[in-house]
Copies of this chain bind each other. A is one copy, B any other.
């Protein structure tokens, strides 16, 4: 396919991702790598029992303080089977939301860049966890997931092979996929107020 045909086809594809802006950002950040250093933040306030409310609004990037258009708040809790009040998803389910949404945004962005028109994308995520870990019953059992399975069902103008390649590229560029599959240092400190 020559460049002109490619361009005409690309113009017809609209997944709602502004690839030109992303490619422009990539060039800008290549020229000014300091601007690529982001700080993401959340605050979490205990409500009662295992119920907490987290807020996400400000972050740092492009060399300046930034803000979401609005503050997003999230209730987390444990379910009734753990003698809690089920006021929100469990913390581990938030990890699954993070992973699925990161991969899905990637699928849309990569599809746009490859001129693949998406019609629907759905991810189903399931993670196993043996509660003998967090309950301290068996020290050989880890606290976290014993593995995560993500299954995509994608309706798009593309072959099965192209869809598989799309999902593979999304994994390769996913921040949350990296966070879940590789270790990250976490430092926790506490002050008495």
Contacts and interface: CB of A to CB of B under 8 A. Distances in A.
The copy count of this chain in the complex is 2
* Chain A residues touching B, range: 35 or more
Interface string A153-193: 11110111001101110010111111111111111111111
Interface of A: 15-18, 21-22, 25-26, 29-30, 33, 36-46, 48-52, 54, 56, 59, 61-62, 66, 68-69, 72, 74, 76-84, 86, 88-105, 107-109, 118, 120-138, 142-156, 158-160, 163-164, 166-168, 171, 173-193
18 contacts: A38-B128, A40-B145, A41-B124, A42-B93, A42-B97, A44-B101, A48-B108, A49-B108, A52-B100, A56-B97, A69-B80, A74-B101, A76-B102, A91-B97, A94-B97, A95-B179, A151-B190, A156-B192
